[in-house]
Amino acid sequence: MKNLVFPADYVPRLSLRETQRAIKLTKDTFQNALAAALNLDRITAPLMVTKASGINDDLNGVERKVHFTMTQLEGVAEVVQSLAKWKRMALYRYGYQPGEGIYTDMNAIRRDDDCDNLHSLFVDQWDWEKVITPEQRTVSYLKDVVTKIVGALIQTNDTVKAAFPALDLEICPDITFITTQELEDLYPDLTPKERENAIVKEKKTVFLMQIGEKLKSGVKHDGRAPDYDDWSLNGDILIWDPVLACALEISSMGIRVDAKSLHSQLEKAGALEREQFPYHKGILDGTLPLTVGGGLGQSRICMLLLQKAHIGEVQVSLWPDDMREQCAEHGIVLL
């Protein structure tokens, strides 16, 4: 199938039952390490929100949301695509203060994602958000948060390898921080994805910053919704995956928009009408707190640490029949 990668002579390092135990250990360890590193409380979160609320994540702005009508409620409900906006409102409602934050299990259906080694119709991630001060809306603070997250990932990897000696992944602790413009300047003849693979192959652990604005070439490195991340203070955590020999994005995150950057980015996106929604009004009038946050792919992290070749080896989703057949022929068993 298109975009599928089959590593030569691939043999899973863990049996199906070992994989299930390793998934639990990975998730338990990482979420506890993340919560300790960033001072986060675990909370419950919604699977669906109303369309009228305006708090669903628009991702790149083109993905179709799964939606439905209800018997007892008017309007349309949508399955969340992430909780970027909802979390910020929750921090306000629950009375969190600077230095305190939350994380939750986020499950979503992204109907327009192409299924391949790294992408599934089912998305599971830890969505997290933390209250910050105006003085912390800086690149240096963002880098400090990224360093703590990578530290939690390395701690988890060490724990999982100790429990399952067949695993031997090494994660580089030295993070390379680079902007999308610096990356384009470095590899002007490559596509955005090729640039990511080139820099991560060399540096192993990379935080790619400032995603959403157009570059000097006139194109964006990648799309970002205009109303959660500040495009000058965001980024992706990329880790080199030796099994697939590619850059693996485990997190999209950033310092969130304040009133000034929200209005500016909505204007650039031609979406000023969103300022009528309660979430957007709360940012513009200063009601909602300033925050930093993001999503961390649960299956992506399990796939990386357990050295799997396909995300379907660590999560249960829907796959085309021919994908299942081709994967089985190459030693990849989809759950």
Q: Is 307 labeled as catalytic in the residue annotation?
A: no
Q: Which of 17, 30, 80 is nearest to 51 (CA)?
A: 80
HSE-up (13 A, CA, CB side) for residue 255 = 22
Q: Is 105 assigned a catalytic role?
A: no
| 258 has catalytic annotation | no
202 is catalytic: no
Question: Do 207 and 236 touch, CB atoms closer than 8 A?
Answer: yes
Catalytic residue among 31, 82, 232, 252: 252
Is 125 a residue of the active site?
Answer: yes
Q: Is 252 a catalytic residue?
A: yes
C-alpha 104/C-alpha 296 separation (Å) is 10
Q: How far apart are the two ends of the chain, measured CA to CA in Å?
A: 18
b/e for 230-269, b at 16 or more Cβ within 10 A? bbbbbbbbbbbbbbbebbbbbbbbbbbbbeebbbebbeeb
Find the catalytic residue in 31, 120, 125, 315: 125
Q: Which of 124, 249, 258, 313 is catalytic?
A: 249
Q: Which of 13, 110, 195, 300 is catalytic?
A: 110
Annotated active-site residue in 78, 127, 129, 236: 236
Catalytic residue among 13, 31, 57, 315: 57
Q: Are strands 48-50 and 76-79 parallel, antiparallel or unpaired?
A: antiparallel
* Residues forming the active site: 57, 110, 125, 236, 249, 252
